[in-house]
Structure 1
Amino acid sequence: MSKRVLVGAVVWVLATIGAFLLDPILGSAVLVFGGALVAMGHLASGWGEGSTFEEREMDRARRRKAKFEANAGKRAKDRERWEAGKARKARRTDRKSA
């Protein structure tokens, strides 16, 4: 937890205690809304720490390249089968035309 969020939580607790001493309804409102603000502050404190778009795209490109290289044999085998089928079809059309 960041220092800023910790200070906000302490201020929230003190404000809640003070509000409850004045009025229980006011205290419960400060408790609920202040708690929501502290929770939102905690969640937002690490917002900018994520990776940049360029870093994520470079990682994706590396994974795609590794996957492409891993499947090179399958693609070559597929290409051979496709060319063999194309040659069979060409022979059939040659027989029909002759």
Structure 2
Amino acid sequence: MLIGAVAWVALTVAAFSADPILGSAVLLFGGVLVVVGHLASTWGAGTTFEEREMARARRRKQKYEANAGNRAKDRERWEASKARKAAREARKSG
């Protein structure tokens, strides 16, 4: 990466000494290539799909376990509501 940046600076100086328009083109396009090269040098350093999925699974599991009490309370409410509804239906029909 450093060699490419040094070559770009040297070519830019040489191109500016020959022609300012050519030097501007070398400066612009060479700079873009140096930046793209720098960004591409760290392309593969990220996490893999499997690592990200394992992290998501751990977070989901923690969240699920943290909300276990709320789910149990909701289940009790739902069952109580279902029992009240069944009692009302039994009184109506019976």
| TM norm structure 2 | 0.98
Look up the equivalent residue of 1:55 and give its one-letter code: E
| TM norm structure 1 | 0.94
Look up the equivalent residue of 1:89 and give its one-letter code: K
Show structure 2 runs of 5+ residues with no match: none
Structure 2 residue corresponding to 1:94, chosen from 66, 90, 94: 90
Higher relative contact order (CA 8 A, sep 6+): 1
Give identity over the alignment, percent: 73
Structure 1 CA distance for aligned equivalents of residues 57 and 87 of structure 2: 42
Note the aligned Cα RMSD (angstroms).
0.5
Runs of 4+ in 1 over 4 A off after TM superposition: none
User: Is the aligned partner of 1:12 residue 2:15?
Assistant: no
Aligned residues: 94
Show structure 1 runs of 5+ residues with no match: none
Look up the equivalent residue of 1:13 and give its one-letter code: V
Structure 1 residue corresponding to 2:76, chosen from 72, 80, 90: 80
